[in-house]
């Protein structure tokens, strides 16, 4: 990235469409537009019909052009948005013409990176942009829109301000004050540390639901051969994704289907039946099944015999499911066992409810704000640990301001890293690299 130069990129996906949108951003964006259009007086934020010509005077297209002047633009620089006919060759001609006049193709996420550098958004909002682009549900889109609007950032700034006040007091006490704190002041510090820790821990606890909305969960359907795993997958997906046969061992490899449950993308994995076999291909299928089980968020342990013991022994969360319930006269009274008939779609709605509760999807609310990236979670965990250490120090040793200052500064640095104030370049490169070129 070269600060100060002018970048250009399509903002819509490659392909044929009615309209394609391109963006320019940088100090020369307006002069390049004037060269392409032959016009100089574009009204801000008003779409204007204009012909664009290349440096040889050849007509590229008649386009709608909208100008956004700095600092009131997405990037904080002068920005031009060009809406052309959605032909890839037309889009390429516009990009080439801009580059011939001094622009250059944008790198992945460079528009948003410039917005970040120019103070238009913080790193939390940048990550919300990436999540919003890749969102698979309305619920996640709504949550990310709230974050992009600044709800999470405001809370983090509030925590940051409270930590700064504490740190300032400790450093004043350490460097300037010659008087001991009064009991009421000590009580205030103690209460403030407790309140900050409670607020930080509440945010730390939101990460699971945020990750569930953003990245989803994996549910593995496992059991012995011929108990109806593939039939259940087809029933859940409402399509014939897996081959169904009465012959045991039909499924040799995993088959995956992603469904939305309560706004969370849930990936269901149909696996090979678990049994001892001399068939090398089937053995490999069983091995892969066990690998998927280790990585699952939830396991559906499936059998077709109410009296059978479920074969899985694992520490992972499990729902015990008995299939082919239409053929069973006697059913177990154990309420932890879910009876279904996958082929007749009986009990499957209840199974989905149980899956939703087991994964925690039923706790998701579009009114709440969640941490949604591992980077944010790691930083808030570090902040929690530092504030907790400060609280323990205060209780055990009183006002050891030097140690307290160290812990509070660590907590403050963690909040700053969430906002992007102190994030190393490699972290920033990873975050912005996850965005598309036109964003």
Q: What is the pLDDT of residues 302-328, one digit of tens each?
A: 888 777 766 566 677 889 888 888 776
- Tell whether 226 and 342 lie within a shared domain: yes
Residues 80 and 15 in one domain: yes
Q: Which pair of structure tokens corresponds to residue 146? A: 């709230």
194 and 283 both lie in a single domain: no
In-domain check, residue 439: no
Same domain? 357 vs 257: yes
| Domain final position from 336, 363, 390 | 363
Res 186 pLDDT > 50: yes
Of 125, 103, 106, nearest in space to 115 by CA? 125
Q: Is residue 429 part of a domain?
A: no
Task: Convert the chain into a string of H (helix), E (strand) and C (coil).
Answer: CCCCCCEEEECCCCCCEEEEEEEEECCCHHHHHHHHHCCCCCCECCCEEEEEECCCCCEEEEEEEEEECCCCCCCCCCEEEEEEEECHHHHHHHHHHHHHCCCEECCCCHHHHHHHHCCCCCHHHHHHHHHHHCCCCHHHHHHHHHHHCCHHHHHHHHHHHHHHHHHHHHHHHHHCCCCCCCHHHHHHHHHHHHHHHHHHHHHHHCHHHHHHHHCCEEEEEEECCCCCHHHHHHHHHCCCCCCCCCCCCCCCCCEEEEEEECCEEEEEEECCCCCCCCCHHHHHHHHHHHHHHHHCCEEEEEECCCCCCCCCCCCCCEEEEECCHHHCCCCCCCCCEEECEHHHCECHHHHHHHHHHHHCHHHCCCCCCCCCCHHHHHHHHHHHHHHHHHHHHHHHHCCCHHHHHHHHHHHHHHHHHHHCCCCCHHHHHHHHHCCCCCC
Q: Which residue would you say has higher pLDDT here, 396 or 332? A: 396
Q: Does one domain contain both 242 and 331?
A: yes
pLDDT value for 2:
60
The stretch 407-416 carries a mean pLDDT of 94
Give 274 or 39, the one with higher predicted confidence.
Answer: 39
What is the domain-level CATH number for residue 15? Answer: 3.30.1360.120
> How high is the pLDDT of residue 168?
85
Q: Mark whether 72 and 136 lie in a shared domain.
A: no
344 and 263 together in one domain: yes
Same domain, 227 and 353: yes
Of 319, 343, 363, the last residue of a domain is: 363
Provide mean pLDDT across the span 330-354: 83
Which pLDDT score, from 0 to 100, does residue 395 have?
84
pLDDT, position 95:
96
pLDDT band for position 244 (cuts 50, 70, 90):
very low
Say if 300 falls within a structural domain: yes
- Which residues form the domain of 283? 216-363
- CA-based angle 115:105:86, to the nearest 5? 95
Same domain? 260 vs 339: yes
Among the ranges given (152-156, 271-275, 371-375), the one the predictor scored with the smallest mean pLDDT: 271-275
- The answer to whether residue 65 is domain-embedded is yes
- Whether 188 maps to a domain, the answer reads yes
Please check whether residue 294 lies inside any domain of the structure.
Answer: yes
Among the residue ranges 27-36, 53-62, 125-134, 227-236, the one predicted with the least confidence is 227-236
pLDDT mean over 75-100: 96
437 contacts 23 by C-beta, under 8 angstroms: no
* 428 within some domain: no
**Whether pLDDT at 29 is above 60:** yes
Name the pLDDT band for 248 (thresholds 50, 70, 90): very low
Q: Which band of pLDDT confidence, cut at 50, 70 and 90, is reported for residue 68? A: very high
Per-residue pLDDT at 243: 45
> Who contacts 190 (Cβ-Cβ below 8 Å, separation ≥6)?
391, 394, 395
**Lowest-pLDDT range, 66-70, 157-161, 245-249?**
245-249
Question: Is the domain of 226 the same as that of 359?
Answer: yes
* In a shared domain, residues 21 and 105: yes
The total domain count for the chain is 3
Residue 201 lies in a domain: yes
Confidence of residue 290 (pLDDT cuts 50, 70, 90): confident
């Amino acid at each position: 990235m070269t600060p100060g130069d002018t970048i250009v990129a399509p903002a819509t996906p490659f392909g044929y469409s009615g309209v394609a949108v391109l963006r320019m951003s940088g100090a020369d964006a307006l002069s390049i537009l004037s060269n392409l259009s032959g016009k100089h007086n574009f009204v801000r934020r008003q779409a204007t019909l204009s012909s664009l010509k290349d440096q040889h005077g050849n007509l590229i297209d008649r386009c709608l052009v909208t100008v956004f002047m700095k600092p009131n633009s997405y990037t904080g620089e002068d920005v031009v948005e060009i809406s052309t006919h959605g032909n890839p060759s037309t889009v390429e001609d516009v990009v080439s013409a801009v580059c011939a006049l001094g622009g250059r193709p944008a790198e992945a996420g460079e528009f948003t990176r410039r917005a970040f550098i120019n103070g238009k958004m913080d790193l939390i909002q940048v990550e919300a942009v990436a999540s919003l682009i890749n969102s698979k549900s309305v619920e996640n889109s709504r949550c990310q829109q709230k974050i992009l609007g600044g709800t999470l950032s405001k809370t983090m700034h509030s925590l940051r301000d409270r930590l700064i006040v504490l740190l300032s007091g400790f450093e004043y006490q350490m460097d300037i004050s010659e008087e001991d704190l009064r009991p009421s002041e000590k009580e205030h510090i103690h209460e403030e540390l407790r309140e900050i820790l409670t607020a930080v821990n509440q945010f730390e606890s939101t990460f699971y639901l945020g990750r569930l909305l953003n990245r989803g969960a994996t549910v593995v359907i496992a059991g012995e051969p011929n108990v109806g795993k593939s039939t259940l997958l087809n029933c859940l997906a409402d399509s014939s994704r897996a081959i169904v046969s009465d012959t045991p061992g039909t499924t040799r490899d995993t088959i995956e289907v992603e469904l939305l449950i309560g706004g969370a993308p849930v990936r269901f994995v149909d696996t090979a039946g678990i049994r001892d076999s001399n068939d090398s291909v089937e053995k490999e299928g069983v091995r892969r099944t066990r690998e998927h089980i280790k990585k699952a968020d939830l396991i559906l342990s499936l059998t077709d015999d109410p009296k059978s013991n479920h074969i899985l022994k694992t520490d992972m969360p499990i729902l015990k499911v008995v299939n082919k319930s239409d053929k069973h006269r006697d059913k177990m009274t154990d309420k932890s066992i879910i009876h279904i008939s996958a082929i007749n779609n009986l009990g499957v709605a209840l199974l989905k409810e149980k899956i939703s509760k087991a994964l925690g999807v039923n706790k998701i609310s579009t009114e709440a704000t969640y941490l949604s990236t591992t980077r944010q979670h790691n930083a808030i965990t570090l902040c929690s640990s530092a504030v907790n250490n400060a609280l323990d120090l205060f209780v055990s040793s009183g006002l050891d301001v030097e140690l307290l200052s160290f812990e509070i500064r660590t907590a403050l640095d963690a909040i700053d890293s969430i906002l992007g104030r102190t994030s190393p370049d490699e972290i920033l490169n990873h975050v912005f690299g996850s965005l598309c070129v036109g964003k």
